[in-house]
Amino acid sequence: MLIFQSVMAKFSDLRVGVLALQGDFERHQYQLVSLGADVTLVRLPEDLRRLDGLIIPGGESTTMDNLIDRFHLRQPLYEFGRVKPVWGTCAGMIMLAKAITDNQAAVQPLGLMDIDIVRTGYGRQVFSFEETIKARLNDQETELKATFIRAPIITRMGENVKPLGYYNDTPVLVAERNLLASSFHTELDDDTTLLKFFLTKFF
């Protein structure tokens, strides 16, 4: 009980937003609340005010892209991500990217992270899979249970982008300045290792 209370207290002063236009934002909200963070579901530009950081969840990137414009969030998200911590998971990685290869759906990424990606690079929904991957977190090798659902593949990384985790020799977890991006989901499981890393190292 004391360990649980100390974890809750550690993150209780953080105000974290989750982009809640579409996708699995409720799972991110659940995990953040379980750690004691103050959570705001972001649907409008004014929801970004006073936040310490943001998670852009997985989902359908074409729909997310359209809704970002519909609710006038594109520029506010860009300005927020230039200075404050943002973690993009799956579709969130797509939205953070600089460019999208073979972009038939004409998704407009925010261009915050210096990576290029291929949407659904690991295959469509029917090819979803779970895998335990190894990541380098806090200068230690850590195992993460990763779920790949229509996941993007990174095809290019800028010189300031740091790979933290790989699947089959391809980077699937990367960091750059205040930004973290993962091709996979961890919020579908109860393991909060990667979330704690984000809240501890990027805030």
Query: pLDDT value at position 127?
Result: 65
Q: Is 90 a catalytic residue?
A: yes
Domain ranges in the chain? 2-201
Distance CA 151, CA 182 (A): 9
Query: pLDDT value at position 123?
Result: 60
Q: Bigger pLDDT: 144 or 127?
A: 144
- Choosing from 28, 72, 79, 90, the catalytic residue is 90
């997985």: which residue's tokens?
A: 58
Q: Is 185 a catalytic residue?
A: yes
- Choosing from 28, 131, 176, 187, the catalytic residue is 187
Model confidence at 105, pLDDT cuts 50, 70, 90, reads: confident
Q: Is 187 a catalytic residue?
A: yes
H/E segment holding residue 32: helix 25-34
- Choosing from 26, 60, 159, 185, the catalytic residue is 185
Distance CA 151, CA 125 (A): 9
Q: Taking the model in full, what pTM does it have?
A: 0.93
* Stretch among 42-56, 123-137, 144-158, 186-200 having the lowest mean pLDDT: 123-137
| pLDDT tens digits, 66-96 | 999 999 999 999 999 999 999 999 999 999 9
Distance CA 12, CA 177 (A): 24
Which CATH number describes the domain made up of 2-201? 3.40.50.880
- Dig out the tokens for 78 from the structure: 């860009």
